[in-house]
Structure 1
Amino acid sequence: MNVFDQQLQPATAFERLLAIMEDLRKQCPWDKKQTMESLRHLTIEETYELSDAILEGGMQEIRKELGDLMLHLVFYAKIGSETNDFNITDVLNGICEKLINRHPHIYGDVIAETEEQVKQNWEQIKLKEGNKSVLGGVPSSLPALVKASRIQEKARGVGFDWEEKEQVWEKVEEELQEFKDEFNVADYSEIDLEKAEGEFGDLLFSLINYARFININPENALEKTNRKFIKRFQYLESKAKDLNKSLQDMTLAEMDVFWNEAKNI
């Protein structure tokens, strides 16, 4: 197969990528040196770049980042084949079998007419496959905000959840009050930091839970707020520069003028 052919059908295009990976692994000094461990942090970086592209909404950038991530997946499979542990065919067949097994409402006689029923079936099947806990599939290294969302989703999958969103909001208010009791803003006496931290964690967990009930992805919501803050703060910095001032030299009132201007941009 000519690896320089560009207009190809999906299966042929995938074979082209495999052929290129074969060439790189044999001939490129950098690619020859890579191991799963050396690629790991690069794969994490590529995943975050894909996440950025999705949030920014540029479809062509998403396409490019998907390609970068696909390369990494093929790279791992190639390394696995060199040690005779697995190859790309094993990887693809494995995920196909997994999807068929976990969708008995499509490939079997199980009935699941709603998204919630599908999720419940999924978790029950995973337990039958050998998972000791419904929460066992949540990676320990996930960022805490994402981990909280996944924990709550998985618990819901086996019926451990609130019935109404009003109940969840009541829990938010309860946790907020408990936090305020531990850290009263009007009281400047020393607090038990560890206990206050625990209460703050409970408050965040309950807010994430409420977000799930109203179909808000808390990770996306917070990242959009981060980006909004960065944009407005950088506008503030540029205005300070126009005035030949540093932010340290400006009063809060002066900065607030430009901050409000930034909200309208």
Structure 2
Amino acid sequence: MLPTNTPPEILFKSVDKRFDPRDCGTIRIGSLKYYRSHYDESVRDTEEGCVSVRLSKDAPVTLPDALANPLFFNGMTKDTRTRGGHSKFVVSSEKMVLTKGHGEWTISGEADFTFDSQNTLIFCMTAPLRKYKDTFKGDRIHWRVESEDLNEFSFILTMLVKSHLSPASLFPYLRNPTMGDIFIETEMGRVVYTDRHPALSPTPSGYFAALTFANAPFVKPSGPPKHFEREEEFRFCFHCAANKAGAKTTPFIPEHLDVPFAPLSHIIKF
């Protein structure tokens, strides 16, 4: 995870009063596609979950396996493939050279790497590092989760997501979808506000570019026009795949899920 992933003392959720879970009985979890075309222009992020990295021919870059493997999948180039059923990876290069070392890779030449998180649902909250009252405005309600309840909250959310998905609906092309199962990989952490299109170079900022690429669902831009950094976001990512040997893993996840509030009511405080 990215360096700023310090445990939050408290998490807040701010929603329009229309979506008060005490009244509507549900909590909405949206897909990346949902937020890429969100009805609220201030929330909409057309590149949600997408990161690209440029490698120039100026100097070779040496990266440890943990950072290099997400970039080129053990040396596979000029390829488009799905990782774990929830992301698309594209390498565009005619002049890239890869050299394997002991626990590291050296990359030289020219290349463009693109990572597009797909088949992922996210739930966004605020982990304030400053006064929360300045984060959101308007006719909204706020609820919170204490740090000691974070793991239980994440676990219940994962179970709720899984219970609302089924192999039959997500994998209609399987001949016998009841033989499969849905696998949910859950990640949680602070969002890092930085450049989504950095350059890969033999410098600290260049190495951070590789780290950014490996954590694309947790990267958002900072500054104008939308200043997303004001949200101080902490998010839960639910990556959906098929837990079935040999099955294609391209689930058709819905744009959003409205999961029941009741299983979380003992954790959420208003």
Instruction: With the length of structure 2 as denominator, give the TM-score of the two structures.
Output: 0.20
Which is greater in Rg? 1
If each structure's helix is expressed as a fraction of its own residues, which one has the higher value?
1
Instruction: With the length of structure 1 as denominator, give the TM-score of the two structures.
Output: 0.20
